[in-house]
Amino acid sequence: MKPSRWLAAGLVAVATAAALNVVPATAGRPYDPTTQSLRDLAKRHGLYVGTAVDMAALDNAAEPRYRELAGSEFSTVTAENVMKWESLEPTRGTYNWGPADELVAFARQHQQRVRGHVLVWHNQLPTWLTEGVADGSIDTAELRKILRDHITAVVRHFKGQIWQWDVVNEAVSDPWDTPSTLHYKGFWAQHLGPGYVADAFRWARAADPKALLFYNDYNIEAFGSGNPADDKTQFVYEMARDLRARGVPIDGVGSQGHLGTQYGNYDTLQVVAALRKFAGLGLATAFTEVDVRSQMTAGVQAGDSAEINPRLQASAANFSTLLRACLAERHCLSFTLWGFTDKHSWVPGAFSDPPEGLATVYDENYRPKRSYQELKADLIYSGPPFVLPRVPQQPRR
């Protein structure tokens, strides 16, 4: 070949490798996908892999591994707490943007996208708000205005920097609530009625027309009976369908993915079917808070491998089920873990009777667990014809 042909062939090879995000094997550096990060492996599918970030851990100089892995393994981040109302506006009218801005800056430095979490939720509200409503000093009309102002201020502040916003979070009850017939639950439904959901999406869209707007909830990984009175996924599906039909600017549904090895959970095909059904409404989907917890029996706590191993395996299988389903459905845009190390996980603090833990993909010493390896294997060994790159979602006008 003439030198110019060699050059052309070389350029094509480099461009192809870059496009596919693979490094060609050479004698000196054989390509080994298992050494790649989750984010790099996910890139081939156009998928973003994320984590919730605990700002105290990120800022702890004594624990550099947290920051390193948060920056290197993930292509999207979510604020675990610092974009919640009680953090952003602890005193009425006084916003504390610092920690949330710091996360957004960290994301920019590491070429990561940001999932905004969360605009409207019944938990982690500031006391000035809940007490004002309880003592009658804030009436319904004022509450609605406060919500609109909050959404507008927060979305405007981060305008252009948020890929997906969790606009409304966990608005729907669970079968174990009273009454057991599924309904709109919590502070906002109680005080404003269910119409707040559509309002929240409209206000968010007005404040940042380019951000993708999501409804986010747990226990919606698969459909059940199909009856919205007791099937939460069906209830959320019908809610999203109605919002779409009315022209409300909802772009996606986030399935949190908080699973536990003590439950039956789902198989991959059930989860794919659910994602497809949401996609059929013209919606994007995402897994937004994935973790798989286990009961910490006395044996587990004593280090008994006969009790620990099955938990690690079941956990890995459940992570894998959700990731494979997401890979299979082209409108599933991102797969976010709710923390990545057992050292910083909400699970032990939230479940103490019986105690639960082991919910993430790295152990307390930042050693990757079997679940991490399975996620990696899923990203490496899946591809065409059944796994194709994502279909980007455009914000609905």
User: What amino acid positions are annotated as catalytic residues?
Assistant: 170, 289
Question: Is residue 112 a contact point for ligand 9MR (CB under 6 A)?
Answer: no
- Residues in binding contact with ligand 9MR, number by CB under 6 A: 9
Which CB, 58 or 387, lies closer to ligand 9MR?
Answer: 58
Alpha carbon 41 to chain centroid, angstroms: 18
Residue selected from 80, 221, 342, 378 as contacting ligand 9MR according to rule CB under 6 A: 80
Smallest distance from ligand 9MR to CB 312, Å: 22
* String marking each residue 220-259 x if it binds ligand 9MR according to CB under 6 A: ------------------------------------x---
Cα 256 → chain centroid:
6
Minimum gap (Å) between residue 291 Cβ and ligand 9MR:
9
CA distance 325 to 17: 26
Residues 331 to 390 in contact with ligand 9MR, rule: CB under 6 A: 346, 350
Report, in Å, the least distance between residue 107 CB and ligand 9MR: 18
CB 147 within 8 A of CB 320: no
Position of tokens 């005193």? Answer: 91
By CB under 6 A, residue 81 contacts ligand 9MR: yes
Q: How many Å apart are CA 164 and CA 255, to the nearest integer? A: 13
Nearer to ligand 9MR by Cβ, of 229 and 350: the residue is 350
Smallest distance, ligand 9MR to C-beta of residue 332, A: 19
Q: Binder to ligand 9MR among 73, 199, 289, 342 (CB under 6 A)?
A: 289
Please provide residue 356's backbone torsions phi and psi, each rounded to the nearest 5 degrees.
-130, 160
Q: Which residues are within 8 A (CB) of 199 and not within 5 positions of it... i.e. 6 or more apart? A: 144, 147, 148, 192
- Closest to 266 measured CA to CA, from 186, 344, 326: 326
Residue 163 or 346: which CB sits closer to ligand 9MR?
Answer: 346
Q: Which residues lie across from 50 on neighbouring strands? A: 76, 336
Judged by beta carbon, residue 104 or residue 387, the one nearer ligand 9MR is 104
Residue 209 exposure: Cα atoms within 13 Å on the Cβ side: 2
Q: Find the DSSP H helices in the chain.
A: 3-20, 38-43, 55-58, 64-72, 85-88, 98-109, 127-134, 140-157, 186-192, 196-207, 232-245, 268-279, 298-301, 305-328, 347-350, 370-380
Report yes or no: 354 and 296 within 8 Å, Cβ to Cβ.
yes
Among positions 121-180, residues that touch ligand 9MR (CB under 6 A) are 123-124, 169
Which residues are CB-neighbours of 60 under 8 A, at least 6 positions away? 66
256 or 294: whose CB is closer to ligand 9MR? 256
Using Cβ positions, the residue closest to ligand 9MR within the complex turns out to be: 346
Closest approach of Cβ 284 to ligand 9MR, in Å? 19
CB of 255 to ligand 9MR, least distance (A): 11
208 makes contact with ligand 9MR (CB under 6 A): no
Our CB check for ligand 9MR shows the closer of 308 and 358 to be 358
If DSSP codes are grouped into helix, strand and coil, which group holds residue 258?
strand
Least CB distance from residue 166 to ligand 9MR, whole Å?
A: 8
- Cβ proximity to ligand 9MR, 105 vs 350, nearer residue: 350
Report the interface residues with ligand 9MR, using CB under 6 A.
80-81, 123-124, 169, 256, 289, 346, 350
